[in-house]
Amino acid sequence: MSSTKSFAKKHSEIHALSRFEFFKGVGQVTGGTLLSITMVASSVLAGGLVGLAISFRDLPDVRQLRTFFPSETSYIYDIKGKLLASIHGEANREVVTLNQISPNLKRAVLASEDSHFYDHHGINPVGIGRAALVNWAAGGVREGGSTITMQLVKNIFLSQKRAVTRKIAEAVLAIRLEQVISKDQILEMYLNQVYWGHNNYGVQTAARTYFNKSAENLTLGESAMMAGLIQAPEEFSPFVSIKLAKQKQKEVLGRMLELNWITQQEYNDALNQEIKLGKIKSFQGSALPYITNTVSQELIKKFGRETLLKGGMQVQTTVDAGFQMMAEETIKKWHKTLEGQGLKNNQIALVAIDPRTHFVKALVGGIDSKTSEFNRATQAHRQPGSSFKPFVYYTAFASGKFTPNTTILDTPVSYRDGNGWYSPRNYDNTFMGAIPIRTALAQSRNVPAVKIGKAVGMNKVIETCRTLGIMSPMEPVSSLPLGAIGVTPLEMASAYATFANYGWQSPPTIIARVTDGSGNVLIDNTPQPQRVLDPWASAAILDVMQTVVKEGTGRGADIGRPVAGKTGTTSSEKDIWFIGTVPQLTTAIWVGRDNNRQLSSHATGGGMVAPIWRDFMQKALKDVPVENFQPPSNFPRPKSN
C-alpha cells in the first residue's frame, strides 16, 4: 500500500512544538460558578458515557477504520500528465497523508474545531458540559460540543440528524476509536473526510478548488479561511460571499492568537493577505469528451462503475491533449467544407494510431461532442467499401499463390450466392481485362477483388480480419471483398497499423497506465507486440497500397513522403473512407450521415476524404522526419498451400 494514501502512517508534525507551547492557554475557563457547575456536570456525563460504552453493543465496530478508505475521485490525464477530467460519485475527493497538509491548516482546524484534540480521549468533558448547559437552557439541541473524533465517527457511521441519542452514540464511538488508532490517524482521516463545500470532500480537492494549489502549500490566511468553512461550507464560501468568508477567517485567526499558536504579527499578516481564489471544478466537464468517455467506458467494463466513481484511479491515456485538439479542429473545419460542397448533415470520425505501439494518438467521434455523445470512431459500424480490399489481397499474398504482379482478369462474372446470382460491377461500369493485382487495387477494381476472394476462400479472408482484430459480424458471401459488412474506424485504423508494422501487433489502446488510490498498478499497457501476420505478405500489401497513393484512387492523400493507403466508397455513397499510413502514424477517416442516407451521387473516398486525411497528416507529421517503408530483406515469400 502506498504511503501517500495510507491512513495508518504516523506523523509527528503537530508534535514538533512542545505540548506545553502548542497548547499553552488551552482550556482556560473563567467564572468560578460556571466552572464548578460545568465540571460537575461533565464529570457525571463522562462517567455515564464510559458505562454506556459497555452497553452500546449494536453500534458499528470502529476497528474497521483501520483499513477504511473513503470514496475518492478518479482522474484522467493525457500522455504528458495534463488533467483531462475528474470523475466521481457524490463525493469529489483526493486523499492525502497528514504530512502532505500544511501545518497552518492543521492548526487552524484544531483551533476552530477542537483545540483540546491532543489532550482528550475522544470526548472533551469541558466542551460537552458547556454544550449540555446551553442545550438545557434552550430546551433543545443548540450546541454540539463535538470533538474532531466525534465528528469523524458521525460522518462515517451515523446520520446527520441532531439529537441527544446521536450525540451519545458519537461519544461512545469516539472513545472506542481512540483506543484503536492514533491521534494523527484520526486527524488525517478527518481532514480527508470532512465536507468543504461545492462538492469538495477532503482538504486536497478543497485547496485546489478554493485557491488553485495543493493542501501542503496553503498559507496561514488561506488555511484560516478554509477552517472557517467547516461549520457551514456553502454559507461561508468565498465564492458565495467573500465578506462572510473573511469574517470567519478573522474568527479562526483570533482563536489561534488567543491560544498563542500564532503571533500578533502573523495574525496581522494573514488577515491582510490578498486571497486569490481558484474556481469551482467539481462539476466541470471533460476537456476532451471523446477521449475521457472512451476511457471511462473501458474502465467500467473492466472494473465496474463504482470503482471508477469512488476508487481514486489515476489514469494516463495515450493521447496528447494538444494533438487531439488539433485533430478535432481539423474535423470541424472539414465538416464545414463538405457542407459547402453539398454534403449536408455529414459526420466525420477519425482515429490515429502509432503502428509501432498501437497506442491511440487521436480519436474524434464526430463533429461536436457537445451536441452528440455518440462516438462514431468506436461505436458506429459502417460499411468500409473498397478500404476492405487490402485484407483480401493480403490473404492472397499470404497464401503463397499470388504476388503484386500476378495477372487477374477484370471481366464479367456471376456467382451463385444463396438463392440468387451475384454479378459484381466496377464503380465506372467498365472492365479493363487482364491486369496485375497492383493495378487492380490501385484503381480499386471490384471484379478482381471478388475473384481473388473466391480464389483464396472467403473464410480465409474472415480469418485474416479476425487476426487483425476486426470482430464485427461477417459472412463468407461473394460481396464480402467489397466491404459488405459493418466495421468501426478504430478497427480499421488498428488493422492498417498492423500492416504498417509488418505484421507485429499489440492490442490497440487509449489507456497507457492505471493505478488505484494506493498507487497499485491496475493496468500497464506497455506494448508487448506479437507477430500475427506473414511479414512478406504484409510488406507486399504495403507496397501495393503505396501505388494507390502514387498512381491510383488515393492520389489526393499525397503528402510528399511515402504513404500506403486505400480509399473506400460504398456503392450507395453512404460511407466514404480513406485509411492511410506512414511508418510512424496510421489514420482512418470516415465520412457519412447518422441517418445512413446517401451523401451525394458523386461522393468518393478519394475525392472527399483523402484531402481531409492529407490535411490532418501534414499537421500531425510537421516535426516528424520522413521515413521509408523498409521491410527486412530476408522475409521469405510464403509457400503455396
Cβ contact 517:69 at 8 Å: yes
The closest of 157, 169, 277, 263 to 229, measured between CA atoms, is 277
How far is C-alpha 420 from the chain's CA centre? 50
The closest of 492, 533, 502, 530 to 395, measured between CA atoms, is 533
CA–CA distance, 284 with 622 (Å, rounded to integer): 33
Cβ contact 498:533 at 8 Å: yes
Active-site option among 113, 298, 491, 573 = 113
Count of residues in the chain = 641
Cβ contact 343:591 at 8 Å: yes
**Is residue 90 annotated as part of the catalytic site, yes or no?**
no
Given the C-alpha cell 485484407, which residue does it identify? 391
**Exposure of 186 in the CB half-sphere (CA atoms within 13 A):** 28
**Is residue 386 annotated as part of the catalytic site, yes or no?**
yes
For 464, list phi and psi in degrees, rounded to 5: -60, -45
How far is C-alpha 518 from the chain's CA centre? 17
Question: Could you tell me which residues come within 8 angstroms of residue 454 by beta carbon, excluding any fewer than 6 positions away?
Answer: 415, 478
CA–CA distance, 189 with 194 (Å, rounded to integer): 8
Cβ contact 254:135 at 8 Å: no
Cβ contact 227:252 at 8 Å: yes
Do the bridges between strand 521-524 and strand 511-515 make them parallel or antiparallel, or are there none, so unpaired?
antiparallel
Active-site option among 115, 286, 386, 478 = 386
What residues act catalytically?
A: 113, 386
